[in-house]
Chain A
Amino acid sequence: MGNHIEITADNAKANLEVFSSTLQELAENDRDILAVTSDSRGSGKLVPFAKKYPKQIIEVGIAEQVLVGVAAGLASTGKKTFAVSPACFLAARSFEQIKNDVAYSDNPVKLIGISAGVSYGALGSTHHSLHDYAALRAINNLIIVAPADNFETAEAIRQASQINKPFYLRFGKKPMPLLTEDKENTFEFGKGRVIAKGKDLAIIATGETVYPALQAAKKLKSEHNIEVTVVSMHTIKPLDYNLLKSLANEVGAIITVEEHSVYGGLGEACASFLLENQFHKPFKIVGIPDEYTVTGSQTEILNHYGISEEGLTKTALELIKKT
């Protein structure tokens, strides 16, 4: 396994880069691993993969519908197919192909939404994917995952390649520090990872928003003596209801955080579960509101909407008052 990547606290990379290097690691021993791209090998960090395994990359040009249709056809023959395209286009332009050719036909394509959320920053709404969880959650037979750090990314890719089911995996391009160095804190689809534990409040975050949630939790503890549980809810669907239930029993209030519209994503998924199971406690969904998104870099946009150490700390202090 010459390509096997070591993930440490000191070498934070973009999850997207770790996706690519992990795929390369897998391809070394398995010629059925395929990447299908829509002129997205550069943005998908797949240039080294393409150079090393030219027969294992299928380029279709800028054509997302055929990207997913072709990927489904390939997967139907047993190929371990990763269809890679910017999340904004993948989850919109090829939505019907995802619904019918992948999920409904049960062709086990791994759909890789790259540069997700507001990763493209000032390029604006055409390039933002704030709809993908909402749109894809309504499709039966699709596992939806947003890994938070390099460890979760590598594990998600390795494990998904061994599971004969359709997946949507979403990655950003910002370097993501490791959430924890605890080797016993493992990764399993459908099971949220508890990164920090505290009784006052739970912050349930997903993807790149887990890191600022963790920073906020540390600040809340050190400056306000508020103890916060932080969960990386990497699997949006199926959601970890057991963990949600135990959190609802243990903490005073819950905040959800996502780089997605406040409509239809992680927050509403958690809210519906909690309400349907008679858990009534202070609850706040943090995400991108239903408006024309402010112009700025990814960091500026996230800060603007309170998806930051400072913003989440403020939200937490306000919510705690209601407990």
Chain B
Amino acid sequence: MNTGELIEKSNQYRQKILKYIVGANAGHTGGSLSSIDIINVLYNDVLKVSPETFASPDRDRYIQSKGHCVEALFVVLADVGFFPEDDLNTLCQYKSHYIGHPTRKVKGVEQNTGALGHGLPLAVGTAIAAKLDEKDYRVFTLLGDGELPEGSNWEAALTGAHYKLDNLCAIIDKNTLQISGPTAEVCNTDPVDTKFESFGWAVKHVDGNDIKALQEAFSSLPFEKGKPNLIIAHTVKGKGVSFMENQVSWHHGVPNQEQYAQAIEELTAAANN
């Protein structure tokens, strides 16, 4: 998919994220909007995985550590054909498989996540398996910047470097806000880059809401032979909807009908520009 098509996709995905969050009357709006460009580029341009190849041992793996932004994942999985999009009308409804975090009951989901600090260790294990089997599949995991204080991430950062996992790519959705406020004020994890570099990772910064920049970053993997890769994706929480951008209150805020209409109007206008 070319850059222009991917940009169109992101706009459509943003509208769908809002639609299903409004339908469910629940969801993680801000983070889904900050991370959607990353997930879009992964599934439509980077990952060697499809509904047909999902059972293949050679597929690329994507594990969403920031599981709460499941709406972004589900709209992309539906769009690439893992399940009918209409299923998302049941999101968070009684007896639905489509719960508020990724679950393997939904086709296309690699691991059940939701508790933070779990994606990176799982991804490290999966990437070690690829090395043991001399397979060339790659493993991607998306973390939120707010989950970095979880100690298991740093255990996994050590392990990933120890095993020289250049087939592993972690992406941090660095939208700089978490539920209690700015991440730098809640528990400052900066400078993230030099921390990971000192652990033995190869690190790149990218504008995580710039499709072309994301494509370029992913296409240059591995950044350095023998080192696990980290992409620090600088994003805007609530990206694409003016009144949601950079507002902590939209972490898991659900738009009312008026706000929803305004958001769709803004996104439609952006798509037509």
Q: Which A residues form the contact surface with B (CB < 8 A)?
A: 34, 55, 58, 60-61, 63, 65-66, 68-79, 96-97, 100-101, 104-107
Contact = CB atoms under 8 A, between A and B. Distances in A.
B122 A65 contact: no
A63 B124 CA distance: 14
B124 A76 contact: no
Interface string B84-123: 0000000000000000000010000011111101101111
Contacts of B57: 77-78
A73 B151 contact: no
Contacts of B253: none
A300 B128 CA distance: 43
Interface stretch (B153-161, B175-183, B187-195, B263-271): B153-161
B226 interface: no
B169 to A, nearest CB: 14
Contact of A66 (B113, B115, B133, B155): B155
**Which bucket holds chain B's interface residue count?**
20 to 34
Nearest to A66: B155
Contacts of A105: 104, 111-112
Contacts of B128: 58, 70, 73-74
Contacts of B152: 65-66, 69, 97
Contact of A101 (B111, B129, B133, B162): B111
B158 A69 contact: no
B159 A63 contact: yes
A97 B121 contact: yes
A308 B110 CA distance: 48
Contacts of B115: 96, 100
A97 B130 CA distance: 21
A75 B129 CA distance: 9
Nearest to B137: A77
Contacts of A75: 125
A66 B159 contact: yes
13 contacts: A69-B122, A69-B125, A70-B125, A70-B159, A72-B111, A73-B123, A76-B122, A78-B129, A79-B129, A96-B115, A97-B152, A100-B115, A101-B112
Given A70-B122, A72-B122, A76-B122, 11 more contacts: A58-B128, A65-B155, A66-B158, A69-B118, A69-B125, A70-B125, A73-B122, A76-B125, A77-B130, A100-B112, A104-B112
